[in-house]
Chain A
Amino acid sequence: MSQMIGSRRHFLATQAMGMGSVALAWLLTQEQVRGEPPKPVDVPKSFTLSPKAALAPPQANAMISFFMQGGPSHLDLFDNKPELQKHTGENFPGEIKYDNAAESSPKLFYGPWKFAKHGQCGMELSELLPGLAEVCDDITLIRSMHTGVNNHGQSIYALNGGRPTAGRPALGSWLTYGLGTENQNLPAYLVLTDPGGLPVLGVENWHNGWLPSLYQGTVIRPQEPRILNLDPPRQSPEGAQRRFLGLLENLNREHLAQHPGEHDLAARISSFELAARMQTSAREALELSQETEATQKLYGLDNPKTREFGTRCLIARRLIERGVRFVEICTGNQTWDHHGGIVTGLPDVCARTDRPTSALIKDLKQRGLLDSTLVHWGGEMGRLPVVQNEKNIGRDHNTYGFSMWLAGGGIKRGCVHGATDEFGHKAVENVVNHYDYHATLFYLFGLDATKIAFPRPTGLGTILDGQPGQIVSAILEKPPGVPQAG
């Protein structure tokens, strides 16, 4: 026993010496690392994934982010504009920036989908989102998002990293850096990628930037091996790896016997045992057969259309249950980038994702997890009120005004926040910039977005990086400054 304690301490000590690692670097057993200072140190001296207490009592302690890359059309899903309907076909009267000049047109275009009010809150949503309509009393819809950088890459950088430039840490990296993770046998930050390929910016979407690589996201791939380095090699039958580890331990014990007292050799043997446990934990988290038929059905696993996305939503819930800090669910490369073909394309992707998404909200709620889990749904932009490509109707980029929604983790229920102008072109009322979103998010996790920092040659790096991020109090159940009951 004493040897075991010693070796764990040894792991920690060596880890603290500046061990960086790849996607899989999360640290060891929890009980050893509880002795950290009660307040988060804004710049930790050593880097681990051990859980850290937040600065203030957190309302959220985990996050699931639906990253709908490409730019879902807010005008056809979330933001109904009677004026647009009235003037459809007429020329847009103001300034407009096109990304694609060749197919550009100033003609206003109102989509063919009906909007209706839902829930007790009366949230107006498109008929393309019947699932979301069922849970709209649990979400806050923001209709006034703004990044102002009009192409995919830059706007993703802004929303995910704080500024429209490359090389900065992703949101999930920040949260795991600030808070560590509850389950040391699973990666802290997991990304469920789509079989349709990686989103724009590829692996940069979960890159740790200039934070230690310990905080990089780990990908759960759509095919085997699901987690590189964590899953055993392909087509490895049951028992084969166990036998492999047995042989290895046998070799190492025999070697250790020739070097009695050589501590690091013993620690190495333990490290393989721990690795094997991590492998088992990850496998177990991805194993859906333990879920009831009702649950599987809720997520649409019985329907070929929704099975794939539903599976990932269900995995996300299982990961959160097991203490993972940040889970991202991606749609594929430019899935929502409807420059053309929106009339068939948009209903198709909604049909694939809407039911499973709302199932996740329902399931989290019924398990009591929604209160502490922040759910985010959104892309990096919305779309223009004018038509693109009249021969195959679509809409061009718009980062000046678009919608996204949040739920759980201290977010108001049944709330609509902000508004775009009469045609849905620009956010005009209660504008939420990417940095406001970040300030709000950090607040919900009990963190201060201006203070969680990492030393850089140029000074302390933060997600806000000096931008005037404001906490969006209007969408919070418990805004800052309001005493918390009980």
Chain B
Amino acid sequence: MLRITFRVLFCVVLLGRVALADEVAPAPLTFEAHVRPILKAHCWHCHGEGEVLKGSLDLRQARRLVRGGDTGTALVPGQSGESLIVERIAAGEMPPGTKKVSASELATLRAWIDQGAKTARPEPEQFIPESDFTDEERNFWAFRPVSRPAIPKVRQTEQARTGTDLFLLAELERHNLGFSPEADRATLIRRLSFDLIGLPPSPEAVDAFVNDNSPDAYELLVEQLLASPRYGERWGRHWLDAAGYADSDGYSTKDLDRKYAYKFRDYVISSFNTDRPWDQFLVEQLAGDELLAPPYKNLTPDQSEKLIATGFLRMAPDGTGDGEVEPQAARNEVVAETIKVVSTSILGLTVGCAQCHDHRYDPIPQKDYYRLRAIFEPAFNVPNWRNPAGRLVSLWHDEQYAQAAEIDKQKQQLADERLVVLDNVVAEVFERELLKVPEERRESARAAKATAADKRTPEQQQLLKDFPPLNVDRGSVYLYEQQKIADHNKKYDDLAAQLQTKRPPEEYAHCLTEIPGQAPATRLFVRGDINQPRDEVTPGEPSILCGETPAAIPLKSEAIPTTGRRLAWARHLTNGKHPLVARVIVNRAWMHHFGVGLVSTAGDFGFLGARPSHPELLDWLASQFVENGWSLKQLHRQIVLSTAYRQSSVRRTEHEAVDPENRLLGRAPVRRIEAEVLRDTVLAASGRLSGQIYGVPVPVAPDEVGQIVIAVDTRDSAGRPTGKTVSLGEDEFRRSLYVVAKRSMPLSLLESFDSPDMRPNCTQRGSSTVSPQALFLMNNDFLLAQSEQLARRIQAESSTDLASQLRLAWRLVCGRGASDVQIATGLEFLAAQTAAFAEGMPPATPDKPATVPDPALRALANYCQALLCSNRVLYVE
């Protein structure tokens, strides 16, 4: 038992590491393959990369180790005991700081020296860091072109339905295993529904599928789900994680709202629903603006959409709208975080650390980082920065501008009038307060007040100090004339609001655009410090990816008014030959279907990431994906129509013994549903779920204790609750992806179930099992209210027979019928709870009817709640 739990622990925490461990060190050891990565990670920062070598010691080549530094040779081949480098590391003196060389790394180093300190091949005399990649780096699987592997032969051909199956089966057979039996129909429809639309199937849909005897029932169900608008919401949410979608700016504590970011969310949803080809989807997100010509005026819906798509590059935190932040650092951070979003989501690479120094593990020199940055430099344009509001592009046409101008004129007139009236009140109050001043000083007081504050004589200042109420002004007059000013404000606020309704609503694209003719130079920042710019770099992809066909990225395109750098790169990424782009998205899709990707680290395909469990399958899927026109829906079909996907999730002894982590996929996984799916599922069961698609986000606010709930914020200006509630109507029950993603106010229910923290994005969610979740499910108002709602629904839709009610509860919540034993247990429970609730109830009197629901309803609600928080609901089998 213990062994299994530990393995699960590893599975959760250390998946990547386990795969790596298999690859460690078959002798003979070479510098390039075994030692260089250790030295690169721990030592090169001081002994290699810097402008000055510490102790004149360079550890980038074996022969330079032998040559040594100020204290002599660092390495005596064949004698690790005589080698200074071993001595210093073993003594804990090197590297300085808290991050030390591990025991196994040191053992590798020793063993390499004792074997004679071999290199795989002669070392060059010169290096140029950007091209000084070892063959090991160049040949790393993720940087090699995608292959088109031959479909493997299997023995159990009857078990295979798709190409996917053949690859998986071949691997299983190598371990003398095969697929598990197919799951039952009720399990399958539930699994498919959660995977493809993120919602449970309705009881009717379950019945129809379970009783459908046609040979293509399963295929039809898949098509039906892929055609549902709910599909785009479900899969759009996955991409929004990777893109780091948020409705607020983050960075500083102000966390200002991004009012129009939701249009990007809607673009993503509609892209998935229409199966926008992935290549087009990426080009639009990276360079949609460059597909149009500035100025962006009177845009057609299609043109607007292309601008909105670049919202992808505007998702990173951006504190530059907050006047209190240090602007240079904040601007730089926007660019740096955007590069993180782009590289982890599209390339599956963590290039971020190369901002300060050469990447410690991956072959990404610092210069390459800045080459990548140069692609985005003209649009972000740090020297001529535009803050978030300044980057919005209006979607109005000329006629709306004209209408707005007319209304604005009227609003200005109203504002002028309002001030005149207010000034009259100030004057009245002043005259009244003046009466409290001795008559002989009144004229002087009047003169003092009329004089500008900084021009007053000492006598005038003293006079106003002696009679402080004379200091009445526009700002303080409300303290003197509370009712009058309140009425005044209300009158003019109402009038202004009336005018506002006549103004066309504001419509903006939250997007990234480039100003033609502006393309500041990109310079490498020494140690990532913006105050230490060094050599200028030209735009380009990381060199290691260039291979035979490097991306041709112009400094300035001749074809379009903007630089065209992003467009050129986007076209390169989607030319079908890029080693990472297709692999990364195919792997992401796989991860969402099976819980774990073929590469278990979906955001890191580099050296520290995991190796693919089925490299050929990954390549086969990636190449198929490109051949099928980059169609994601086609990719889903490849996966969900397979035998592998349809397996039962029950563990089998023979399989457990060989593959307890289920990397071979000899069964379906059991997965906890995500935060949003949990909330949506509860609402679907209670019947309250709103089907409204797209649009402005649903607001959140703190409740009286500080939990974030769905509500209009009605706190007063001092942050106190006013007790007012504003009904949101059906919007309260919209799907969770429509709840505003304000970084400083994550919805508590979602947060406790691991909703992503967008700093800056999330390529892979955690899935925790902790007791606060249990408390939430037991006692939270949302669960209680929806359980009661579900109970009412059941009473309305079922007969009064309690057993029928329980059966309906099971069908609505669990998507399957209940056994007789379960019904019997349920009936006992209902009887006992009904009696207990009846006993605890205050007696109703004629003038004071019972305010709580009747005991039978409460008991049923209680039963429903137990079902809702049971593992049958929290997990997909």
Contact = CB atoms under 8 A, between A and B. Distances in A.
Contacts of B826: 247
Contact of A11 (B6, B326, B705, B769): B769
B54 interface: no
B774 interface: yes
Nearest to B4: A261
Q: In which size bucket is the chain A interface?
A: 35 or more
A247 B861 CA distance: 13
A59 interface: no
Contacts of B472: 101-102
Given A210-B253, A247-B863, A100 B670 contact: no
Given A14-B770, A166-B253, A259-B651, A98 B718 contact: no
Interface stretch (A116-124, A230-238, A351-359, A364-372): A230-238
A218 B504 CA distance: 44
A91 B826 CA distance: 79
A250 B472 CA distance: 71
Nearest to B754: A19
Contacts, number: 294
A458 B2 contact: no
Given A106-B468, A244-B862, A262 B766 contact: no
A216 interface: yes
B771 A165 contact: no
Contacts of A240: 833, 836-837, 840, 862
A165 B253 contact: yes
A21 B837 CA distance: 32
Given A204-B719, A218-B705, A232-B778, A252 B870 contact: yes
B333 A21 contact: no
B301 to A, nearest CB: 36
A462 to B, nearest CB: 14
Interface string B638-655: 000000000001110000
Nearest to A41: B98
A17 B766 CA distance: 7
Contacts of A250: 825
Interface in B1-41: 1-2, 4-6, 8-9, 12-13
B705 A23 contact: yes
Contact of B772 (A21, A202, A259, A269): A21
Contacts of B1: 2-3, 6
Contacts of A200: 718-720
Interface stretch (B148-156, B530-538, B744-752): B744-752
Given A200-B719, A243-B829, A457-B319, A106 B9 contact: no
B702 interface: yes
A103 B754 CA distance: 53
Given A241-B778, A252-B871, A101 B754 contact: no
A19 B753 CA distance: 8
A258 B784 CA distance: 28
B253 A247 contact: no
A198 interface: yes
Given A10-B5, A20-B751, A101 B775 contact: no
A152 interface: yes
Contacts of B771: 11, 28, 271-272, 274-275, 278
B704 A203 contact: yes
Contacts of A26: 772
Nearest to A20: B751
B162 to A, nearest CB: 26
Interface stretch (A50-58, A138-146, A221-229, A428-436): A221-229
Interface string B321-341: 000111001100100000000
Contacts of A14: 12, 766-770
Contact of B744 (A11, A27, A167): A167
B344 to A, nearest CB: 16
Interface string A1-42: 011011101110111111111111111100000000000000
Contacts of B837: 235, 237, 240
A239 B8 CA distance: 36
A95 B462 CA distance: 10
Contacts of B649: 259
Contact of B253 (A22, A168, A206): A168
B732 interface: no
B456 interface: no
Given A21-B770, A271-B771, A262 B651 contact: yes
Q: Choose among A103, A228, A260, A274 the residue with the greatest number of B CB atoms under 10 Å from its CB.
A: A228
Contact of B866 (A197, A198, A251): A251
B874 interface: yes
Given A256-B871, A278-B771, A5 B2 contact: yes
A310 B589 CA distance: 59
A279 B777 CA distance: 13
Contact of B479 (A101, A232, A458): A101
Nearest to A214: B772
A202 B670 contact: no
Contact of A102 (B466, B480, B754): B480
A424 interface: no
Given A9-B9, A21-B751, A261 B770 contact: no
Contacts of A258: 650
Contacts of B672: 264
A474 interface: no
B704 A244 contact: no
A100 B468 CA distance: 10
A21 B703 CA distance: 15
Contact of B9 (A10, A199, A228): A10
B299 to A, nearest CB: 34
B707 interface: yes
Contacts of A234: 852
Contacts of A165: 253, 324
A100 B482 CA distance: 13
B252 to A, nearest CB: 7
Contact of A279 (B773, B775, B840, B863): B775
A245 B863 CA distance: 10
A333 interface: yes
A202 B718 CA distance: 8
A217 interface: yes
A311 to B, nearest CB: 19
B705 A268 contact: no
Interface in A94-131: 95-96, 98, 100-106
B720 A458 contact: no
Given A153-B718, A243-B829, A458-B325, A217 B706 contact: yes
A225 B721 contact: no
B866 A207 contact: no
A286 interface: no
Contacts of B428: none
Contacts of B252: 167, 457-458
A356 to B, nearest CB: 23
B89 to A, nearest CB: 22
Contact of A15 (B471, B476, B650, B768): B768
A152 B870 contact: no
Contact of B705 (A166, A167, A219, A235): A219
Interface of B: 1-2, 4-6, 8-9, 12-13, 251-255, 317, 319, 324-326, 329-330, 333, 465-466, 468-469, 471-472, 476, 479-480, 649-651, 656, 670, 672, 702-708, 715, 718-721, 744, 746, 748, 751-752, 754, 757, 766-776, 778-781, 784, 822, 825-826, 829, 832-833, 836-837, 839-841, 852, 862-863, 865-867, 869-872, 874-875, 877
29 contacts: A9-B6, A11-B769, A13-B12, A19-B752, A21-B751, A21-B752, A21-B772, A25-B770, A102-B476, A104-B468, A167-B252, A167-B254, A168-B253, A198-B720, A202-B718, A203-B705, A207-B706, A209-B253, A219-B704, A228-B705, A237-B837, A244-B865, A260-B650, A261-B656, A264-B670, A269-B871, A274-B774, A275-B778, A457-B333
Given A165-B324, A265-B875, 4 more contacts: A10-B8, A219-B704, A229-B779, A275-B778
